[in-house]
Structure 1
């Protein structure tokens, strides 16, 4: 199944789920009863077996989530609600803190690593600038839709999305594993016939095609990976979205100014996306006219108008679903980058880099809204910071031993599948409880639900 096939699967599945929800809500007789699920529940931060278990799960989830480039929000939210006892909204806010901490430390680690095959930064800034504004726009739209969509429908969407993307990532990883096996066999044959200048046969010559060669100093690598002009553009987009969200939160919901501020997000995202899209399109035309086979960015696709529109659709879809489900959208962006031809190391680094901006935006907004307790946020963020750094360290050491980049793809698939299980089980359990309590199971009014 190609990338276009994956998107077609997601769009068609979502359409069927939403249409079935409309039919269901028109035929049920549930009363508008919201229960106590919206009550704020903040347990005290104290040493206990619950805190120890949550720390272990949070550490592993952050480590594997950042390596795969998906964050791990699908694991954090059930862990915070089931083990520690937070309410769902507070758990989602704390999950953002953990994603921000893990992604920030992961980005710091990746900035100190060379690109494995080219003389370019490990972070693909072209792809980051292409996807980040649309992803952040989609997240704000998704957050608004999460107020309207019934809880059981969000659970259905979680299962559809996570199982679909994890299955596709697993098959992609399997293909890469087979290709790497063939490559290793071919290298072994070449090494068996290599003769040095003295005519002696060289056996077991070390060959590391996937591991960066430490030819530069750490400071040189760091300076080379940092592109300040591109980072400045990303920061401007981040600050713009943050200011709009802060001001919007202080305006009456559904008022004229509320919708004006909400609408201003679209031109900001479209301007940045359009600038980068035009740049990639012109670079592609220039490359074709000169016959230069080198790619401007990691994605091995032709940057035609159709492909650029496809990337915009994927960015908005990933952000919308991420905002709807309370995650950063990495579980869409990570598999998508792999699908369009980005090598796993760069896909992981770039997805984590973009996720750092989207998650930090949510954390600042949640802080201003006082959605999470500061002691727990600081503790869990610290755990995630350590996990993000050491997760990258150990996986890259494992890649150095096995010489297989497909490990990252398998980790990505595993984290998404684990998220599908945890969030699916929790969602089904809560939906059954809502049915027993005769709570309202249909679509809610946006203005009346704020």
Structure 2
């Protein structure tokens, strides 16, 4: 035990040192590149002035607002909000983008598109730290990892395809419609998650009450059967040791490498298509060909997983039931939910975590597993957006590094504290209530920002109707 304890402290010490070093490097890079960024901004604005006004691409008209990075109340308040948003968002499995974007626009001073890009960076950092933390964790009640790789493989390809479709519709739909949809979706998810949390809390209360009654009965039996105390204690100790040995699995054994490899392969292929699409003429034959190539990759991967589930060769073990074969209508419903989650996420400029987290909990997945699996799926879509935004130069690197460090540290702290809280209280429903709180705050903040943006466009007499996909460049 002492050896294991020392190893754990050593790992924690190394992690703390690495985190501190990362923060210092971020601050150093920020200070060293500050002047360079200002020159880049001025040159970019000069280039923007020279754009042909007959060109209808959004890329030509886009003027970013990147505030100077200097220590002050804005950085302090933004760091605190970013820390809390990442801690709560990663615990709930939703990332925290609904908190990051308003913070970056209203407090730090970024324009909406740059704020979205930095928000994706923060989500990727927090999700990466959460995945690293969860790779060592086991399911709280079953003999399996806390990440359900089969569930991720069923939803991730459809989510990424849905996000691509949602982004296209985002260009077409006017802002007022997107704002209304955002408010309705978030309010609906918040109420659904709250009622699910209350239901789970009541179930946990019954289970805890029965457990206390069983402990009292066992104590009474031990008192009455004093002649055999050693036998009962030996049986209890052997049962406890069996559970501990079942949960003590190395990280290598805790990862399903085949499923993870398929997820990464889909991510690489879709990313390559998205990057290639940025270098084609909008709405050209090659543009649509690269778009349509996403369909066989994503649908083929999901169908492959669905067929294995249908034949009983795989199962969604985290549901905890004994169902060995899935029916066709169940698999179609799950895949449809995945693509709808992606479309809504793409429409609102969010990752799929805000939809998948409540969806997994609604499907009966354990809250800890729902959070861990949703975070894994969300990490793929968020990291893909980060790569694209970086190639398009949509965010200042020093600012991004600083807030990524904040989000990463917050994710690790949030996961550790919530695990402790669940162990002490014996209630995994804490995660659902954190999810509800995050969704509610995001609905208020994003809805407020969206309404303010619409009012500004009305005052400026800007066009608020439907757009045209073929006059837009991402």
Q: TM-score, normalised by structure 2?
A: 0.81
Tell whether the 8 Å contact from 2:143 to 2:247 is kept in structure 1 after alignment.
no
Give the helix-richer structure, 1 or 2.
2
From 223, 226, 237, give the equivalent of 1:198. Answer: 226
1:261 aligned counterpart, secondary structure: helix
1:151 aligns with 2:165: no
Tell whether the 8 Å contact from 1:148 to 1:446 is kept in structure 2 after alignment.
yes
1:167 aligned counterpart, secondary structure: helix
Distance 1:255 1:114 in 2: 48
The residue aligned with 1:246 is 275
Distance 1:216 1:97 in 2: 36
The residue aligned with 1:432 is 455
Tell whether the 8 Å contact from 1:111 to 1:221 is kept in structure 2 after alignment.
no
1:325 aligns with 2:348: yes
Tell whether the 8 Å contact from 2:101 to 2:115 is kept in structure 1 after alignment.
yes
From 337, 358, 379, give the equivalent of 1:335. Answer: 358
Distance 1:80 1:336 in 2: 28
Tell whether the 8 Å contact from 1:123 to 1:225 is kept in structure 2 after alignment.
no
Distance 1:378 1:213 in 2: 41
Structure 1 residues without counterparts, runs of 5 or longer: 1-31, 288-294
1:55 aligned counterpart, secondary structure: helix
The residue aligned with 1:79 is 103
1:215 aligns with 2:238: no
- Deviation above 6 Å: which 4+ runs of structure 1? none
Tell whether the 8 Å contact from 1:114 to 1:221 is kept in structure 2 after alignment.
no
Map 1:395-414; keep pairs closer than 5 Å: 395-414=418-437
Distance 1:434 1:267 in 2: 40
Tell whether the 8 Å contact from 1:73 to 1:326 is kept in structure 2 after alignment.
no
Tell whether the 8 Å contact from 1:55 to 1:380 is kept in structure 2 after alignment.
yes
Q: TM-score, normalised by structure 1?
A: 0.85
Tell whether the 8 Å contact from 1:121 to 1:224 is kept in structure 2 after alignment.
no
1:46 aligns with 2:76: no
The residue aligned with 1:359 is 382
From 390, 413, 418, give the equivalent of 2:441. Answer: 418
Tell whether the 8 Å contact from 2:273 to 2:294 is kept in structure 1 after alignment.
yes
From 287, 291, 300, give the equivalent of 1:271. Answer: 300
Give per-residue Cα distances to partners, 1:221-254, cap 9 Å, x unaligned.
3122211111111111000000000100000111
Give per-residue Cα distances to partners, 1:287-331, cap 9 Å, x unaligned.
9xxxxxxx6422357721111111111111111111111111111
The residue aligned with 1:297 is 317
Give per-residue Cα distances to partners, 1:141-192, cap 9 Å, x unaligned.
1112211111111110110100001100000000000011111111111111
Superposition deviation, residue 37 in structure 1: 9.4
Superposition deviation, residue 217 in structure 1: 8.4
Map 1:54-203; keep pairs closer than 5 Å: 54-194=78-218, 195-196=221-222, 198=226
State the number of aligned residues. 402
Distance 1:117 1:132 in 2: 25
Superposition deviation, residue 213 in structure 1: 6.0
**More displaced 10-residue stretch of structure 1: 299-308 or 314-323:** 299-308
Tell whether the 8 Å contact from 2:142 to 2:318 is kept in structure 1 after alignment.
no
Superposition deviation, residue 438 in structure 1: 1.5
Superposition deviation, residue 122 in structure 1: 1.2
Find the structure with the greater CA-based Rg: 2
2:471 aligned counterpart, secondary structure: coil
Distance 1:217 1:183, change over 3 A: closer
Superposition deviation, residue 81 in structure 1: 0.3
Tell whether the 8 Å contact from 1:37 to 1:87 is kept in structure 2 after alignment.
no
1:398 aligned counterpart, secondary structure: helix
2:318 aligned counterpart, secondary structure: coil
Tell whether the 8 Å contact from 1:170 to 1:410 is kept in structure 2 after alignment.
yes
Tell whether the 8 Å contact from 1:138 to 1:320 is kept in structure 2 after alignment.
yes
